[in-house]
Structure 1
Amino acid sequence: MSSERTLKELPCLGDNLEGSSCRSARSKWKRRPSCSGGLDTENTPNELIQQWSPPHKKPLICVKGKENDENVFVLGRRPRKRRESSAGLCWDSLPDELLLGILSHLSLQDLLRTSRVCKRWHRLAFDESLWHSVDLVGKAQIDGELGQVLSAGVLRLRCPHTCIGQPGFKSTKPLRVQHMDLSSCTVETSVVEQIMSRCRHLLNISLEGLVLSDSILHSLAQNTELVRLNLCGCSGFSPESLAKMLKSCNRLEEINVSWCDFSSLHVQAVSSTIPSSVTQLNISGYRQNLSTDDVKAIVERCPNLTNLDISDSVLMTADIFPVLQQLSSLRHLALSRCYLIHPASLIDFEKFPDLQTLEVFGLIQDGYLPILSKSLPHIQINTQAFSTVARPTVATRKDRTLWGMHCRLKYKH
Structure 2
Amino acid sequence: MATPADLPDSVYLEIFSYLSVRDRIRSSRVCRRWKRLVDDRRLWRHVDLTLYTMRPKVLWHLLRRYMASRLHSLRMGGYLLSGSQAPQLSPALLRALGQKCPNLTRLCLHVANLTMVPITSLPCTLRTLELHSCEISMAWLLREQDPTVLPQLECIVLDRVPAFRDEHLQGLTRFQALRSLVLGGTYRVTETGLESSLQELNYLQRLEVLGCTLSADSTLRSVSRHLRGVRKIRLTVGGLSAPGLAALERMPVLESLCLQGPLVTPEMPSPEEIVSSCLTMPKLRVLEVQGLGWEGQEAERVLCNGLPHCSVIVRPCPKVSMDWWM
TM-score bracket for this pair, using the shorter chain length? 0.5 to 0.7
Secondary structure of 2:47's match? strand
1:317 to 236, 241, 248: 241
Task: Provide the rounded CA distance (Å) in 1 between the counterparts of 2:221 and 2:180.
Answer: 18
Could you list the runs of 5+ residues in structure 2 that have no partner in the other structure?
1-22, 30-38, 81-86
Q: Which deviations, in whole Å up to 9, do the C-alpha atoms of 1:8-56 show, x marking residues without a partner?
A: xxxxxxxxxxxxxxxxxxxxxxxxxxxxxxxxxxxxxxxxxxxxxxxxx
User: Counterpart amino acid of 2:309?
Assistant: H
Partner letter of residue 254 of structure 1? Answer: S
**Paired residue for 2:51?**
138
Does the C-alpha gap of structure 1 residues 133 and 266 become closer, same or farther in structure 2, counting only changes over 3 Å?
A: same
Higher strand content, 1 or 2: 2
Question: Aligned-pair RMSD on alpha carbons?
Answer: 4.1
SS at match of 2:134: coil
Alignment partner of 1:206: what SS?
strand
Q: CA distance change for structure 1 residues 217 and 112 in 2, over 3 Å: closer, same or farther?
A: farther
Query: Does the residue aligned with 2:156 lie in a helix, a strand or coil?
Result: strand
- Assess, with a 3 A threshold, how the Cα gap between structure 1 residues 242 and 108 changes in structure 2: closer, same or farther: same
Aligned residues: 271
Quick one: structure 1 residues 360 and 232, their matched pair in 2 at CA, closer, same or farther if it must change by over 3 Å? Answer: same
Q: What is residue 227 of structure 2 aligned with on the other side?
A: 302
| Greater gyration radius | 1
Q: Partners in 2 of 1:371 and 1:263 — Cα distance?
A: 37
One-letter identity of the residue aligned with 1:166: Q
TM-score (norm 1): 0.54
**CA gap 1:142/1:220 in 2 versus in 1, 3 angstroms:** farther
Distance 1:136 1:266, change over 3 A: same
Q: Which moved more, 1:202-211 or 1:264-273?
A: 264-273
Q: Which residue of 1 aligns with 2:127?
A: 203
Relative to structure 1, the CA distance from residue 347 to residue 158 in structure 2 (aligned partners, 3 Å threshold; closer, same or farther) is same
1:358 Cα shift? 3.1
Please give the alpha-carbon distance, in whole angstroms, between the structure 2 residues aligned to 1:186 and 1:227: 22
| Alignment gaps of 5+ in structure 1 | 1-106, 114-125, 396-402, 404-413
Distance across 2 between alignment mates of 1:204 and 1:132: 15
Identity of aligned residues (%): 14
Give TM-score scaled by structure 2 length. Answer: 0.66
How far apart are the structure 2 equivalents of 1:180 and 1:345?
Answer: 40
1:166 and 2:96 are equivalent in the alignment:
no
In the alignment, the residues of structure 1 paired with residue 202 and residue 224 of structure 2 have an alpha-carbon distance, to the nearest angstrom, of: 11
Instruction: Evaluate the alpha carbon distance shift between residue 170 and residue 338 of structure 1 in structure 2; reply closer, same or farther with a 3 A threshold.
Output: closer
CA distance in structure 2 between the partners assigned to 1:140 and 1:179 by the alignment = 20
**Alignment partners' CA distance in 1, 2:48 and 2:89:** 16
Aligned partner letter, 2:209: I
Worse-superposed segment, 196-205 or 164-173: 164-173
Equivalent residue letter for 1:279: Q
Matched, 1:240 2:167: yes
1:394 alignment partner in structure 2? 324
Higher relative contact order (CA 8 A, sep 6+): 1
Q: Structure 1 142/310 Cα, relative in aligned 2: closer, same or farther at 3 Å?
A: same
Task: State whether residues 229 and 256 of structure 1, in contact with CA within 8 Å, keep that contact through their aligned partners in structure 2.
Answer: yes
The question of whether the paired residues in 1 share the 8 Å contact of 2:184 and 2:209 is answered with: yes
